[in-house]
Amino acid sequence: MRTSTKMFVAGTLLMFVIAGQVHAQQQTRRDSAAYVASLDAAAYRFEDSTGNAHTLKEYAGKYVYLDIWASWCYPCRKEYPFLKELMGKVDANTVKVLSVSIDRTKFRWIGALQGYQMTEGTQWVVTDTTFERAFDIDRIPRFILLDKQGKVLQYSMSRPSHAETLEYLNKLK
């Protein structure tokens, strides 16, 4: 192998190692209890399909099971029937099930709601990227459980299609 080829291969490998270490450090930060405890979901603003502004403060005193999704995400849409079923099985006085779309264009979100008959339950859309950045939404579907004060209780909650989700939510008091 030529020296220039060896240097290129070594440089490329070094780049992958460094990128992996940076990703591991970011994941460690996101998974740390201190970071998660510092997140206050009630501070962010969302909109409903009619353009009305909302915050999670509206559900103070309830646990909130957040479904983070987007119109272009097939696995997200596939979870919706399970989410709909979950809504009917949890105690609505204790747990609020809320879907938050991270779509950048409102018409795509509205189109998905109507086109895939996703109109049941509370559906909101982010108004900018501050929620996504603060909560490190780097993959969807994503499910987050908030406590009664709007603080993160479970940063990576199980999906509605998993039986343990209903069991866990029904144990909340």
Closest residue by Cα to residue 83 from 72, 93, 95: 95
* pTM for this predicted structure: 0.79
Closest residue by Cα to residue 131 from 78, 79, 54, 19: 54
Q: Which of 39-48, 64-73, 86-95 has the lowest mean pLDDT?
A: 39-48
For 78, the token pair is 């596939």
- As a whole number of Å, the end-to-end CA separation of the chain is 66
Residue 84 has pLDDT above 70, yes or no: yes
What is the predicted pLDDT for the residue at 39?
A: 75
Furthest CA-CA distance within the chain: 70
Candidates 3.20.20.70, 3.40.30.10, 1.10.3720.10, 3.40.50.10860; CATH matching 40-171? 3.40.30.10
Residue 26 has pLDDT above 80, yes or no: no
Mean pLDDT of 103-120: 89
Cβ atoms within 10 A of the Cβ of 121, count? 16
Mean pLDDT of 57-74: 95
Separation CA 7–CA 162 (nearest Å): 48
What is the predicted pLDDT for the residue at 15?
A: 64
Residue 37 has pLDDT above 70, yes or no: no
Q: Which of 79-83, 87-91, 115-119 has the lowest mean pLDDT?
A: 115-119
What is the predicted pLDDT for the residue at 100?
A: 95
Residue 162 has pLDDT above 70, yes or no: yes
Separation CA 21–CA 19 (nearest Å): 5
Mean pLDDT of 118-142: 89
Q: Binning pLDDT at 50, 70 and 90, where does residue 126 land?
A: very high
Closest residue by Cα to residue 112 from 144, 84, 74: 74
More confident residue, 130 or 64: 64
What is the predicted pLDDT for the residue at 30?
A: 53
What is the predicted pLDDT for the residue at 17?
A: 55
